[in-house]
């Protein structure tokens, strides 16, 4: 493949022997390469990803790391762990923040995120609610906040969420100086069917030693 030397900035008319549906055929090589690379990353690789099933399922006894400060949660058994570390995992890059936890099963997704938080649990839930509504383009309706207490005695707040396509919940717990946000969403029937394991997971949030 050689460099195209067609100067279309200077010459507007394509020589007849190179014309193909109004396009200069000599400009096709780079255009085809560019389109092929785009197709590789945006069509082919996602298709390969979709074809590979999640084999990493949560097992009895698993404990997931919510924050490096020792905040953990016990996931429901049998869910696909798409992101997140078990407390038994030992990545080389031990510093930094813990990756968010993403669990999935039959269309229901549980996302657990953490960050330093100096405000109250109610402030955290308000802030998380505002972001969720913003991200949903205003189509998300929220239920009233309800109190709950984890098995470790930590106070938390939870509210239901509802959008035209999914139901779910939004929960917040503040553990020391760490805020934990849990988002659950999925088809309404599936969310209802998984309500009990999700409740157990919420109440399992704790900090090492507590």
Partner 1 sequence: MSATPDTSPGAGAGPDTTAESSYDELLAGRAAAIRVSGWGAPFRLFQPHNACFWVALALIALGLWNFVPSYVNTFGVFAAADITSLVTSGLFALVFLYFLHRSDRWERTPGRLVASAFVLGGFGAAFAVALPGNAPLMSIYTKLFGQAWAVDWKAGLTAPFVEESAKGICFLLLLGLAPVVIRTAYDGLIVGAYVGLGFQVLEDALYGQNSALEKFGADQVGNVASTFVLRALTGVASHALYTALFAAGLIYLIGTVAQPRRVGRGVALVLAAVVIHGVWDSSGAIADGTPLVSVVLVLTTVVAVVVLFWAIRVGGRRESEFMRAILAPEQARGTISDVELEAAAGHRRERRTFLRSAGDRATRRRRKHILHAIGDLAEDLSRSGGHDDEEVQHARSELHRIRG
Using CB under 8 A as the binding criterion, the count of chain residues that bind partner 1 stands at: 70
Q: Which of 128, 157, 169, 171 binds partner 1 (CB under 8 A)?
A: 128
- Beta carbon nearer to partner 1, 78 or 195: 78
Q: Which long-range contacts (CB under 8 A, 24 or more apart) does 97-101 make?
A: 97/67, 97/68, 98/65, 98/66, 98/67, 98/68, 101/64, 101/66, 101/73, 101/75
Q: Closest distance between partner 1 and the C-beta of residue 92, in Å?
A: 4
Q: How far apart are CA 34 and CA 19, in angstroms?
A: 21
Three-state secondary structure along 115-184? EECCCCHHHHHHHHHHHHHHHCCCCCEECCCEEEECCCCCEEEEEEEECCCCEEEEEEEEECCEEEEEEE
Q: Which of 30, 78, 141, 188 binds partner 1 (CB under 8 A)?
A: 30
Asked if 37 touches partner 1 (CB under 8 A), the answer is yes
Considering only the stretches 128-136, 163-171, 191-199, 200-208, report the one whose residues sit in contact with partner 1 under the rule CB under 8 A: 128-136
Asked if 177 touches partner 1 (CB under 8 A), the answer is no
Which residues in this chain contact partner 1 in the complex, by CB under 8 A? 1-10, 12, 14, 22-24, 27-35, 37-38, 41-42, 45-46, 48-49, 52-56, 81-86, 89-97, 99, 113, 115-117, 119, 124, 127-128, 130-131, 133-137, 179, 181
């Amino acid at each position: 493949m050689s460099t195209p030397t067609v100067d279309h900035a200077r010459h507007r008319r394509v020589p007849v022997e190179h014309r193909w549906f109004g396009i200069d055929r000599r400009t096709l090589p780079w255009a085809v390469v560019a389109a092929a690379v785009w197709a590789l990353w945006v069509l082919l690789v996602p298709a390969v990803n979709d074809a590979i099933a999640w084999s990493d399922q949560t097992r009895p006894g698993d404990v997931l790391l919510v924050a490096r400060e020792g905040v953990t949660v016990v996931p429901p058994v049998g869910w696909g762990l798409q992101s997140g570390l078990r407390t038994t995992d030992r990545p080389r890059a031990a510093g930094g923040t813990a990756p968010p936890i993403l669990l999935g099963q039959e269309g229901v997704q549980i996302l657990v995120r953490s960050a330093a938080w100096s405000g109250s649990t109610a402030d955290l839930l308000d802030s998380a609610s505002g972001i969720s509504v913003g991200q949903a383009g205003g189509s998300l309706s929220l239920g009233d906040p309800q109190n709950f207490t984890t098995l470790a005695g930590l106070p938390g707040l939870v509210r239901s969420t509802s959008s035209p396509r999914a139901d779910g919940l939004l929960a917040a717990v503040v553990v020391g100086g760490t805020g934990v946000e849990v988002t659950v969403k999925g088809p309404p029937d599936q969310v209802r069917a998984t309500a009990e394991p999700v409740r157990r997971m919420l109440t399992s949030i704790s900090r090492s030693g507590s």
